[in-house]
């Protein structure tokens, strides 16, 4: 008989008792081996059932969280999205096709998701666990021997997936979508430039070019034009007056043809110069408000990739470089809060025993802790934009939050 059988004290006792009833050693050995096999089979079934139970509860909690996460993400993103869409509604009035407008507003979504995902994730998780608490399901799982840390495991696994998705948004999707957004807006402005201009109103047709038009004729031509051109660095803007003019597109570049006018400008020595012209063509693409060119001075911060943010161009001013580097660290730190908010939020929420009278306090405390962590993060980011050394405190804020969560789970 194997030593593993004899190692079990109860089977060894049964073997001795069988001998007292006059059973032969061979019969005793066969009986004990049969009992041992039954014992091991039962042990396997019990352990297997336990592990299956663990898998079932994790799967059940994860399936409970996912619908809430999807719905809350859709709702909150939609609300914030609408506020951004309102800024582009003027394009519809200017004649842009509806399909082009829909494509433009879709490109806004990645930058919105990057900011709101940590709040959406923790909100979905706390909502789900609060509902399970009210249905007494968490109490049942606790009575089965599951600790708060084990109860939080499915939510943390989902938070890790959201964190990785957020890193992809920060590193690739957000800058590429914003660049595409600016490129498409540039195309629209180039092709709908005449529509964007209103009568008797100063209209910005590019970042450094502003135009005033007295009248717009049905054929698209303009009359009574005043144009301010500030594209030449280091000098005051040039002012152009023209009796008439019209836009034309050449190789997808907008050109403004001015007729019968005067151009006034200061040279680099500060002398006023005047130029009368019968016809003058201005190219408006350079330094346009929505430009696809990688102009180091005019790029929006959302156009930069993380490596460009962490190592900004040396030609930029010191203050601009600091802001870019801070934004680079923001892209690295903020996705972590998908996990940190969930980790700390559940640690606080699960610490309170379920009680209908105190559930509001439970939710309020959880929300306040999350808001305090977020407040410190954004405050530190704001200070770091002026003094870069403060950016390292952002990492300390993450570490303290994680340690606080671990303390609540183990205490």
| Torsion from C-alpha of 67, 68, 69, 74, nearest 10 degrees | 90
Helices 391-410, 359-384: inter-axial angle, 10-degree rounding: 160
CB 37 within 8 A of CB 129: no
Burial state string for 111-126 with b = 16 or more CB within 10 A and e = fewer than 16: bbbbebbbbbbbbbbb
CB 244 within 8 A of CB 260: yes
Which H or E run contains 5? Answer: helix 3-6
Neighbours of 273 (CB within 10 A): 10
Neighbours of 104 (CB within 10 A): 18
Neighbours of 242 (CB within 10 A): 22
CB 337 within 8 A of CB 374: yes
3-state secondary structure of 96: coil
CB 265 within 8 A of CB 273: yes
Burial state string for 200-223 with b = 16 or more CB within 10 A and e = fewer than 16: eeeeebbbbbbbbbeebeeeeebb
Burial state string for 6-36 with b = 16 or more CB within 10 A and e = fewer than 16: eeeeebeebbeebeeeeeeeeebeeebeebb
Query: Which tokens sit at 114?
Result: 């990057």
Beta bridge partners of 225: 213, 242
HEC secondary structure over 158-192:
HHHHHHHHHHHHHHHHHHHHHHHHHHHHHHHHHHC
Query: Which tokens sit at 381?
Result: 């980011």
Rounded Cα gap, residues 44 and 247, in angstroms? 82
- pTM: predicted TM-score of the whole model, two decimal places: 0.69
Which H or E run contains 249? Answer: strand 238-250
Which stretches in the chain have pLDDT values below 50? Answer: 1-8, 11, 14-15, 18, 20-21, 45-47, 49-52, 286-294
Residue 332 class from Cβ within 10 Å (0-12 exposed, 13-18 middle, 19+ buried)?
middle
HEC secondary structure over 220-281:
CCEEEEEEEECCCCCCCCEEEEEEEEEEEEECCEEEEEEEEEEEEEECCCCCEEEEEEEEEE
Q: Where are the alpha helices (DSSP H) in 135-147?
A: 137-143
Beta bridge partners of 262: 241, 276
Q: Which pLDDT score is estimated for 194? A: 60
CA distance readout (Å), 369 to 115, 348, 354, 404: 18, 8, 19, 11
pLDDT tens digits along 370-388 = 999 999 999 999 999 888 8
Q: Which pLDDT score is estimated for 385? A: 87
CB 301 within 8 A of CB 362: no
Beta bridge partners of 258: 245, 280
DSSP 237: P
Q: Which pLDDT score is estimated for 370? A: 92
């Amino acid at each position: 008989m194997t030593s593993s059988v004899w190692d079990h004290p109860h089977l060894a006792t049964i073997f001795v008792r069988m001998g007292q009833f006059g059973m032969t050693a061979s019969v005793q050995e066969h009986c004990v081996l049969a009992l041992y096999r039954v014992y091991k089979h039962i042990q396997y079934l019990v352990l297997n059932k336990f592990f299956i139970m663990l898998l079932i509860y994790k799967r059940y909690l994860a399936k409970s969280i996912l619908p809430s996460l999807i719905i809350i993400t859709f709702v909150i993103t939609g609300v914030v999205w609408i506020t951004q869409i309102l800024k582009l509604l003027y394009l519809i009035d200017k004649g842009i096709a509806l399909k082009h407008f829909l494509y433009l507003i879709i490109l806004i979504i990645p930058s919105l998701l990057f900011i709101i995902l940590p709040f959406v994730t923790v909100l979905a998780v706390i909502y789900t666990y609060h509902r399970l608490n009210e249905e007494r399901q968490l109490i049942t799982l606790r009575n089965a021997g599951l600790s708060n840390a084990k109860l939080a495991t499915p939510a943390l696994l989902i938070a890790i997936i959201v964190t990785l998705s957020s890193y992809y948004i920060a590193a690739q999707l957000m800058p590429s979508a914003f660049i595409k957004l600016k490129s498409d807006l540039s195309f629209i402005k180039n092709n709908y430039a005449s529509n964007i201009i209103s009568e008797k109103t100063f209209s910005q047709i590019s970042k450094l070019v502003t135009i005033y038009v007295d009248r717009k004729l049905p054929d698209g031509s303009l009359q009574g034009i005043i144009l301010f051109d500030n594209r030449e660095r280091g000098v005051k803007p040039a002012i152009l007056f023209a009796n008439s003019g019209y836009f034309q597109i050449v190789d997808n570049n907008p050109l403004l043809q001015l007729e019968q006018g005067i151009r006034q400008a200061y040279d680099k020595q500060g002398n006023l110069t005047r130029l009368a012209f019968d016809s003058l063509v201005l190219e408006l693409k350079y330094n346009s408000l929505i430009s696809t060119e990688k102009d180091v001075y005019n790029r929006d911060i959302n156009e930069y990739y993380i490596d460009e943010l962490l190592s900004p161009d040396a030609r930029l001013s010191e203050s601009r470089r600091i802001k870019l580097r801070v934004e680079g660290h923001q892209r690295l730190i903020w996705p972590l809060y998908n996990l940190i908010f969930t980790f700390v939020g559940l640690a606080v929420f699960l610490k309170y025993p379920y009680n209908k009278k105190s559930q509001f306090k439970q939710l309020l405390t959880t929300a306040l802790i999350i808001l305090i962590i977020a407040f410190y993060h954004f405050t530190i980011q704001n200070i770091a934009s002026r003094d870069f050394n403060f950016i390292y405190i952002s990492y300390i804020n993450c570490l303290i939050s994680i340690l606080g969560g671990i303390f609540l789970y183990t205490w």
